[in-house]
A and B are shown apart, each in its own frame.
Chain A
Amino acid sequence: MESASEYPPELSRLPPGRHGLPREFVIHNQHERLIAGLAEAVAEKGFANTTIADITRHAAVSRRTFYEHFNSKDECFVKAYDTVMEQLRERVAEAYQSEDDWPRSIKAGIAAMLGFLASEPNLARLCMVEALVAGPVVVERYDAAIQSLVPYFREGRKGRPRDVLDRLSPTTEEALVGGMVSLVSRRIFAGRTDDLEQLLPDLVEFALTPYLGSAEAAKIARES
């Protein structure tokens, strides 16, 4: 499991005070601090109620610095969203590739997603709940991010017997991914980020059943 309660490197903070670091590094770091500041502010007040003043206070930078990096709150949010999703995507891809057979790859991928979201409640809220609240600003990115999980599941069709392939429909993978994301989002929305990892067996069984049948899916879901 991932170690808990640490932001990904991009979102880490520069210690306050005078540091004598090269200018380019400072600029880069300010950028990341603003993104982390936004994530904290949004976790506290929700996207709609977050102001630029909230972001700069959490990031401990000036308003002017904010505008040197972003034109608006929306732009800062989109950047934060992209950063978090990039992290999440990498973790999932890495976990998926760490296993040789497909069902266990899926299980590892789901476990990585739940682990990341559980260890970063603010970021989990940002990318799974506030992204929807923010609406038009990121909604296309959100939809695309969910769709990007579909190919992992479609892989499961390879080498399946005819009767299994026959019963899968064109939308099977979309419905599986949508259902899983919906369940995870509901738990985050309800503030139950701590419970996320407990969902692993349920989600694995749900995801594998169409391909392997319920008995085999349940068996793999319950393996430790």
Chain B
Amino acid sequence: MRPPPGRQQLPREFIARHQRQRIITALAEEAVEKGYRAVTVADIVRRAGIARNTFYENFSSKEDCFLAAQQYAVDESLRRVVEAASSVESWPDRVRAGLASFLRSVATEPALARACFVEALSAGPEAMAGYEESLQAFVPLFRIGRKVSSQGNELPETLEETIVGGIFWIIYQRVVAGETAEIERLLPELIEFSLTPYVGPKAARRTASEPSP
């Protein structure tokens, strides 16, 4: 993954972005191994295979780097969720596609997932606020379901927060247990859990049991 030595014909911007990403990934991987608190800038630098100066050209501190990792992971997974959801028509199908994409992000980036779902909670007030924002970012996507629900106006005001919180908790537990590789198996259950309040159990089951996208 390192740029080939000598020949540096890649655009500067590309290299800069690539470097940032490599540092972020290194932080996440170190955190999986020893827990975020114990990670030092020296650890990150070593794993990323970069100079200490390069780290400080990109980030002011370990904390700054963590927040960037969190931001990157949240933006990226949300972007993929929205992209997957827009590829289908009906709202239940969009929830299904979005959830599938989200679980796939967790499965393919277990270190970043751990940073966002586990380490973020104890990585200081800003990281905690970032966690809150990431949860909140999913709320409007579910809230659309009120428009397709026959009882949209009567649903509890806090329903979406509770649904997203439930999904996050299920994922959190699997991440803590190191079971991210199998996490996509939870898709049907999470679809049913999320859709039932809006469309009722039968329709929720139908969407959940369609073959995987």
Contacts and interface: CB of A to CB of B under 8 A. Distances in A.
B154 interface: yes
B122 A135 contact: yes
B168 A182 contact: yes
Nearest to B202: A167
Interface residues of B, number: 40
A206 B168 CA distance: 16
Interface in A178-194: 178-183, 186, 189
B139 to A, nearest CB: 11
Contacts of B121: 132-133, 135
B165 A209 contact: no
A203 B128 contact: no
Interface string A185-224: 0100100000000010111011001100110001001000
A72 to B, nearest CB: 15
A136 interface: yes
Contacts of A170: 189
A42 B76 CA distance: 35
B35 interface: yes
A167 B159 contact: no
A174 B177 CA distance: 15
B162 interface: yes
A172 interface: yes
Task: Give the 7 A-B CB pairs with smallest separation, nearest first.
Answer: A178-B169, A182-B165, A135-B122, A179-B166, A202-B156, A175-B166, A179-B162
Contacts of A205: 156
B163 interface: yes
A3 interface: no
Q: Is the interface of A mostly helix, strand, loop or mixed?
A: helix
B165 A178 contact: yes
Contacts of B122: 132-136, 139
B124 interface: yes
A179 B163 contact: yes
A59 B189 CA distance: 48
Interface string B120-159: 0110110010001001000000000000000100101111
A213 B189 CA distance: 17
Contact of A209 (B167, B168, B197): B197
B158 A143 contact: no
B74 to A, nearest CB: 16
Interface string B166-186: 111110110010000000001
Given A178-B166, A183-B161, A203-B162, A46 B125 contact: yes
A135 B169 contact: no
A55 interface: no
Nearest to A215: B151
A182 B156 contact: no
Contacts of B170: 171, 174-175, 178
Contacts of B128: 132-133, 189
A34 interface: no
A172 B188 CA distance: 12
7 contacts: A132-B122, A136-B35, A167-B196, A182-B162, A189-B128, A189-B132, A206-B156
Nearest to B124: A48
B32 to A, nearest CB: 14
A5 to B, nearest CB: 26
